[in-house]
C-alpha cells in the first residue's frame, strides 16, 4: 500500500480511537457544524474554519469508518501509484474540502443544525478519479456485490446520491457532501489536464 494511502487510513483509525476516549467533545470541536449551529445548541457549539478538514477524520461508528477506509484502500492505492504521493494527497484533501463546502451550503439552505462527519467526501472523490483514469477496470463493490466497469459505478453512484439527496429518502446521510467530493476531484483533474474551467498558458 503506498505511503499516503497508508497515512490516510492510519490517521482515520487513530482519530477514531481518540474519539472513543474524548467522546462528544471530539464532535463538538472537530465535526463540521453549520454556520448557525450555536442558535440551536448554544454558544459552545459552532462552525470553525478547521472543521472543513477535521470533519473528514471523524466517524460515527465502526461500520462507518470500515466502509470509508475500504474505499480509500480500494481506489487510493492505484491512484497514488498513478499520480504520485503529493498530487494524490492534494486530490484527496481537495475532495474533503469541497465536500465540506457543499454540505455547508446545503445545511444553510435547508436550515439544518446538525453536524457532518466522515471521510465519505474524500472517498467519493477517489471513486470519480478512479473512474476517469481506469474507466474499464472492473470493480466488485460491497454494495452491490456485482462486478461492473468503473465508469458505470461512478455514474450509478453519482445518480443515486443525487436522487437520495433531492428526495431526502435516506435521512442522516450527507449525500450532497458525497457529490461535493466528486466535484472537488473533477476540478482537480481538470486543472491537472489543463482543461476547462482551467486553461494552461501558451508557451
User: Is pLDDT of 6 > 70?
Assistant: yes
Phi-psi sector, 61: left (phi>0), alpha (psi -120 to 50), beta: left
Tens digit of each residue's pLDDT (9 = 90 or more) over 84-125: 999 999 999 999 999 999 999 998 888 888 899 999 999 999
> For the residues 24-33, what does the mean pLDDT come to?
91
pTM for this entry: 0.90
In 3D space, the residue among 132, 124, 169, 131 whose CA is nearest the CA of residue 153 turns out to be 131
User: What's the sign of the alpha-carbon dihedral 197, 162, 45, 30?
Assistant: negative
> For the residues 176-189, what does the mean pLDDT come to?
94
> For the residues 19-36, what does the mean pLDDT come to?
90
> For the residues 61-75, what does the mean pLDDT come to?
92
- The proportion of the chain whose per-residue pLDDT surpasses 70, expressed as a percent, equals 96
55 — pLDDT class (breaks 50, 70, 90)? very high
> For the residues 131-153, what does the mean pLDDT come to?
85
Give CA separation, 32 vs 26, 28, 67, 158, 171, in Å. Answer: 11, 9, 20, 22, 17
* Cell reading at 190: 481538470
Domains and CATH numbers, the chain: 3-193 (1.20.1540.10)
Pairing of strands 147-149, 138-140: antiparallel
User: Is pLDDT of 203 > 50?
Assistant: no
Amino acid at each position: 500500500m503506498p505511503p499516503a494511502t497508508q497515512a490516510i487510513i492510519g490517521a482515520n483509525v487513530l482519530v477514531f480511537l481518540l474519539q472513543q476516549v474524548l467522546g462528544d467533545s471530539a464532535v463538538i470541536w472537530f465535526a463540521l457544524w453549520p454556520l448557525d449551529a450555536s442558535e440551536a445548541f448554544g454558544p459552545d457549539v459552532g462552525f470553525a474554519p478547521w472543521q472543513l478538514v477535521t470533519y473528514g477524520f471523524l466517524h460515527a461508528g465502526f461500520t462507518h469508518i470500515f466502509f470509508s477506509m475500504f474505499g480509500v484502500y480500494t481506489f487510493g492505492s492505484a491512484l497514488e501509484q498513478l499520480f504520485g504521493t503529493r498530487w494524490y494527497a492534494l486530490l484527496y484533501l481537495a475532495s474533503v474540502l469541497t465536500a465540506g463546502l457543499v454540505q455547508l451550503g446545503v445545511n444553510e439552505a435547508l436550515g439544518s443544525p446538525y453536524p457532518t462527519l466522515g471521510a465519505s467526501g474524500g472517498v467519493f472523490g477517489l471513486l470519480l478519479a478512479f473512474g476517469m483514469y481506469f474507466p474499464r477496470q472492473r470493480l466488485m463493490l460491497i454494495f452491490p456485490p456485482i462486478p461492473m466497469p468503473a465508469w458505470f459505478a461512478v455514474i450509478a453512484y453519482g445518480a443515486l446520491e443525487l436522487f437520495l439527496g433531492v428526495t431526502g429518502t435516506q435521512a442522516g446521510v450527507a449525500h450532497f457532501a458525497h457529490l461535493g467530493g466528486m466535484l472537488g476531484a473533477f476540478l482537480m483533474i481538470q486543472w491537472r489536464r489543463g482543461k476547462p474551467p482551467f486553461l494552461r498558458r501558451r508557451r
